[in-house]
Structure formats: C-alpha cells, structure tokens
Structure 1
Amino acid sequence: MPESGDTPIRRQSVRPVYSASRLSTYESCPLQFRYRYIDRIPRTEESIEAYLGSRVHEALSVLYHTVQRGGGPSLSDLLKDYHRQWGECWHNQVKIVKQDRSIDHYKEFGERCLVNYYQAHQPFNHGEVLGLECQVATSLDPDGCYKIQGYIDRLVCVGSGRYEIHDYKTSGRLPSQGDLDVDRQLALYQLAVEERWPDAKEIDLVWHYLAFGRELRSKRSPKALDGLKRSTIAVIDRIEADTEFTPIKSRLCHWCVYQNICPLWTDHSDATGTAYAPAVGDGRSMEVRTSVDRREPDIQSIARDALREAITLAAEPEGAEIRFGEHGQLWISMSHSDRKTHLNSAADGWVRLSVESLPLLFRQMELARLSAPFVEKLQRYLALSSQEDWYGGH
C-alpha cells in the first residue's frame, strides 16, 4: 500500500499530483493534511491497524508473484511469509489505540484474513494479472492541471475489454452497497486504467473484505465518472485555496500520528498526548503507545455552535431542511423528489446523518443536488459530533 506522491502541496510552480488518500486526509482533518503534505513533518508512529494492513497486502502480493512465476503457493507458505514479515518489519513506534486488544490479537486477525482469502480463491487463476501494486496516473481535466495517481493492489484482465480493479481491505466493518457505489478511490483508478488501456470497455471495481471472506463489487457509468471528476477537482480547489487548515476533532484523532503537536490536544498537562506501556511479542521487547482520555477543549463547543448556525442559514438555498437533536444529532430533509433513492430517506423524508453517511453526501454533491460548501459544513459538523462524549459515551 504505497503512499502516492510525497511532493509538497504548496510553494512550488507546478501543481502537485494528488491521490485518493491525500484527499481523504484533507476531508478528515485539514491540519493533519498540512502537517503531512505541506510541512512534511516526519511520521515516526504507525497505527497497529496500518501495520497489519501492510503485512497482509505484502503477503498477498508475494502469493500472486509466485503464481505469475508458475508456482503453486500453499497456505502454510502464505502464513509463513506473513509471520516472517510481521517480525522483520516490527518497530517500537507501533501505536495501539484499543487498549483491550493485544499485539497477538491483531496478528491473529491478519492470519484469519489470509486464510479466508486463500480458501475462497485458490488456485488463483482468475483472469490475467496485469499488475500488482500497479502504479497508475491520470488527469481529471483536458489541460492536465489536476493530476491523480495511486496504486492498484491487483489489476486483472478477465476477457476481451473486461478488466477488474481489486482492493484488499482488513477493516472490521463491512460497508453497504451504497457506500461502495460512491467510493472515490477505485473509481479514480478506473479513470487511470481507461486512459492506459484504451481497450477497457467494461471495468468492475472489486473489494475483498478479508475479515468477512466477502467479495463486493461496483460499476461506474460514464455519467458517474464525469461527476467524480468535477467533485474531485472541487476538493483540490478547496485544498489549494485553504490558508487556515483548521483541525477537526473526531474519534480518528486517536490514530493520528500528529496528535502530540495538534493544538486541539496539546493544551493539557500531558503535552505528548500518549502514555507508554511495555509489551512483548515475537520474542522481543516493544514499546506500544496507547491513547489517554482528555477533556474536550472549549473551542469545540464554540465551533459546534457556529457550524449549527452556518448550516441552518445555508440549508434553505440548498432546498434542504435541517434539525438538530438534543444530543447533537443532525437530521436533513431534501426537497428533491428522488431523495429517497439517493439519501435513503425514512418514510417521512428525514435522514439522520453520521460520519458513515458522508459518501452519500458526496454523492449528492457529485449530482449537483448539494453544493460543495454546504457539504463541507455538514462534514465538519459530523466530524465534531462523532466524539463519544457528545452522546454520553455510547
């Protein structure tokens, strides 16, 4: 899972190359984006989830390389390589946020993911593998000003003009079909594949949710891809116009490698933002970072109230009506006649939004049913409202 393009975002004459992960980082927290891609602050920590995902991806890449060379990898070979990589790559800055889970828990979880995949897909002869960790790039506009690149886990040709873009996921959450149908990452890869392989007339986007042993698929119409280009360009324009890079506090902060320098977290007695506990695994001593609880800064309440007012004022021109629950929940009702199809509205037309429903909001933006500035306000509010203490810790 290489990170695509680490060129600085600003202070250069040529517009940088973006990636789906860069865009998602900005949408989750503009300040994290600035620290990582503009200020280029080194990252020493790595979450255990990211570490696990890298080791699983490496093992599956080795498996298919072996197949390409004419070999027939066994399950024991696959797991042996996974355990070897786990031990060789381990470092003392792996961060475990969920304190009730051990290193062995994550290691066994990755093993289970690989067993599920091996049993479901052997002998691994589906189509012609065109690339593993295959780098692709494209432009979103005819002038080549908005460039995107990324790495496809596995690209496969399954027949004349038929291609599949495969992506491995070690997430413990299974998305809905609606989530997949508005996923940006693989759809951007599709744009690049269509440019590089002109014979690609039919492309399937394929996700392997390894923990569940499930293969999920989606297709994109030309109209949907055109909307994706417009919405992605809009996000890039927002990034390049941003001068504040205001941080967004959410549950994701606990996994952020910059938490110890973030102004939302450093105004407390524990300036480092982490506690250290010894752990042992793979026969060596390791340092495991775990998050500690803190009070919510007053700035969050101020930001929440300001966003509520801004959202309420902006809703009417958008053809939407907004309600706020007593514990901060956000509800929306849209005047569009087809809102039930696109926002999965309840019978009365009202939808309760959450961080998980952000793809649906982005889809509304792609379809020009909601403006980008309005969706951005909703996104910021939802990121704030995802904190546990807003809902009594539930």
Structure 2
Amino acid sequence: MGTAGVESVGTPVSSPPDASAPPRRPALSPSRASDFKQCPLLYRFRVVDRLPEKPTKAQVRGTVVHAVLERLFGLPAAERVPDRAHALLEPAWREVRETRPELAELFARAEDVEAEVAEWLGSARGLLDAYFGLEDPRRLEPEACELLVETELDSGVLLRGYVDRLDVAPTGEIRVVDYKTGAAPREIGEAKALFQMKFYALVLWRTRGVVPRQLLLMYLADGQALAYRPEEGELRRFERTLEAIWGAILRAGRTGDFRPNPSRLCDWCDHKAFCPAFGGTPPEYPGWPDPGNAGTETVLDRAD
C-alpha cells in the first residue's frame, strides 16, 4: 500500500522509487497504522530500523494473483474468463521475478524447482478459480484498479493507500473491493481487515464527499466474501482513531520509546530475536528517519 508510516517492508516486489523524484510528504498507510496499533515495536522495526523481512511464497503468490486480477479488468469484458486469467499467471510471475530476481530464491532449496514452481502456480490458479466463483467480471466495469487514494485530514494527518478495486454505480454509489488470497480470518484477522477497509472508506469519503455504500473483502482461499456497510458517524470516530495513532507515532518517534505488545501474532513476527518480550535486544535507536525517505506501501503489504 516512511517517516511516519509508509516505508516498504521486507523485499518489495514493485520497483524502487525514483531517487530523482521530489520526496513525497510522509503519510500514514493502513498497513503501517495497523502495525503500530498491533505493536509499536513492530512499527519501529519496519519503518525506522527497516529490518529485512523475507517474503513468503504465500505473499508472493498473493502479489501475482493481484496483478492478474488487475490485468484481467484491463481486458474487454467478454475476455474476462478463467482460461484468460490462467494465461496471465506465468507472465505476471515472470515480470515479478524479473523485477526482483531474489524472489526466485524462494524455490532454491527444492529438489525439483520446476515442479515446485508449477505446483505453486497451480495453487494460484485455484485462487483465481475461487474468484470466478464469487463474481463474474464480465458484468463489471470498475472505475479503477490499484488506485492510489490520499487525503489530508483537518488535523494535518496525511493518509495514503492503494485500493485493489473501486466500483462506482451509475447512481454514484461506491463499493471498495479488496482481494485477500488467504482464508476468511478469525476475529483478530477480521478486525485487521476491516481496519484497512475503513481507512480506504474514510479517504474516499473525505475526497469525494460520499460514504462508500459497501466494503467488500473477497477471501479467495476458501471462496468467501465479507461485506460491510460503513456509516458516517463510524468514519468520524475512525478518523479520530487515526489521529490518535499518528500522535502516538510522533511521540514515540521523538523519544524512541516503541514498546512491544506481545500477542498471538508474535508467532509470525520475523523480529522476535530483537524483541525484549522474548529476551532480545533491539538495535540502537537510529533516530527518527529523514522525511525525504518516506516510501509507499508495497504490494506485499496488501497481498495477504
């Protein structure tokens, strides 16, 4: 989907930012806001220390599937069929691999690399088939896919993120669609996903003056969909939540006091060896990053 919230995580799949381009003002992204809410120290490791994280096969598969679905909607409506989506898979994977050759190392230890890659791509085809079981893309004409959305709140907090798909009805009603290549989550995962979707809803409301009618999460691993209808009062409260998160980030940034918040999610954290909650010692605090180093939320952040 930087200085206060949107630095890339691990090995980005997208191309690195153009160093000659003017620096973008630091902004809060849904992934980084969620990180801080989950665990301030995780936020520090990712944004300030920029500790490397090794992408998983599931993350990269999600990235490839997202790319295929984006390209699918670039085709004439009649061509948006499963066979055409399947045909887009290998080119999408090849492009990702060419952009980031190190991702090929995900399969380096396989006894038969070609067979394992083929099986992996086969699992991606299964996710695409599940997508077609949820809706018929031939009947849809999205306004945009992979849409950058950005707004500044009255308090000065800048919000920035990427929407997988934006559908706008002839009557002006808005639907925000997000593809998840994992299974429908339990309570914690569902709350995290809705946090992300409310973030997008807030930005769209502030930029377009219309509260999205529906937030739609499509879970492709098990072919389930979760639909949610936000209300204006709820988005106002969520706006205050983001302002509070931003304020807490700035206070922690000034002092270097990013505290761990142990939870069940720690089992999936790449940084336990540096976490005091598990007997580790964080790197020396390097100080708050240069605002000119603000990055963007990567596709890996959004590929779960």
- Tell me the TM-score normalised to structure 2 length: 0.69
Q: How far 1:182 sits from its partner (Å)?
A: 8.5
Higher relative contact order (CA 8 A, sep 6+): 2
Residue of structure 2 in register with 1:362 after alignment: none
Which of residues 142, 158, 180 in structure 1 aligns to 2:169? 158
Closer, same or farther in 2 for the Cα pair 1:174/1:45, shift >3 Å?
A: closer
Residue of structure 1 in register with 2:147 after alignment: 134
* Local SS of the residue matching 1:206: strand
Q: How far 1:171 sits from its partner (Å)?
A: 1.6
Q: How far 1:77 sits from its partner (Å)?
A: 2.1
Which of residues 192, 205, 211 in structure 2 aligns to 1:194? 205
* Local SS of the residue matching 2:198: helix
Closer, same or farther in 2 for the Cα pair 1:36/1:179, shift >3 Å?
A: closer
Which of residues 48, 55, 62 in structure 1 aligns to 2:57? 48
Q: How far 1:86 sits from its partner (Å)?
A: 2.8
Residue of structure 2 in register with 1:6 after alignment: 7
Report % sequence identity.
24
C-alpha distance in 1 between matches for 2:29 and 2:185? 23
Closer, same or farther in 2 for the Cα pair 1:149/1:253, shift >3 Å?
A: same
C-alpha distance in 2 between matches for 1:61 and 1:195? 25
CA contact (8 A) 1:44 1:93 kept: no
C-alpha distance in 1 between matches for 2:245 and 2:119? 37
C-alpha distance in 1 between matches for 2:38 and 2:244? 16
- Aligned-residue Cα RMSD (Å) equals 3.5
C-alpha distance in 2 between matches for 1:19 and 1:146? 11
Closer, same or farther in 2 for the Cα pair 1:28/1:181, shift >3 Å?
A: closer
Q: Does 1:120 align with 2:129?
A: no
What is the aligned residue count?
A: 249
Q: Does 1:82 align with 2:106?
A: no
Q: Does 1:148 align with 2:149?
A: no
Residue of structure 2 in register with 1:22 after alignment: 32
Deviation per CA, 1:162-210: give whole Å up to 9, x if none.
110000011223456x946982211121122223333x36521111111
Residue of structure 2 in register with 1:231 after alignment: 241
* Local SS of the residue matching 1:46: coil
Closer, same or farther in 2 for the Cα pair 1:201/1:249, shift >3 Å?
A: closer
CA contact (8 A) 2:166 2:174 kept: yes
Unaligned runs of 5+ in 2: 9-23, 98-102, 109-115, 282-304
* Local SS of the residue matching 2:149: strand
Unaligned runs of 5+ in 1: 8-13, 97-101, 266-295, 300-394
Give the structure with the larger helix fraction.
2
Deviation per CA, 1:13-52: give whole Å up to 9, x if none.
x9731011001112333233213212344x3621222212
C-alpha distance in 2 between matches for 1:210 and 1:235? 31
Residue of structure 2 in register with 1:171 after alignment: 182
CA contact (8 A) 1:180 1:218 kept: no
- Tell me the TM-score normalised to structure 1 length: 0.55
My pick for the range that moved more, 29-38 or 248-257, is 248-257
C-alpha distance in 2 between matches for 1:129 and 1:109? 26
Q: How far 1:214 sits from its partner (Å)?
A: 2.1
Closer, same or farther in 2 for the Cα pair 1:253/1:20, shift >3 Å?
A: same
Closer, same or farther in 2 for the Cα pair 1:32/1:201, shift >3 Å?
A: closer
CA contact (8 A) 1:46 1:257 kept: no
* Local SS of the residue matching 1:184: helix
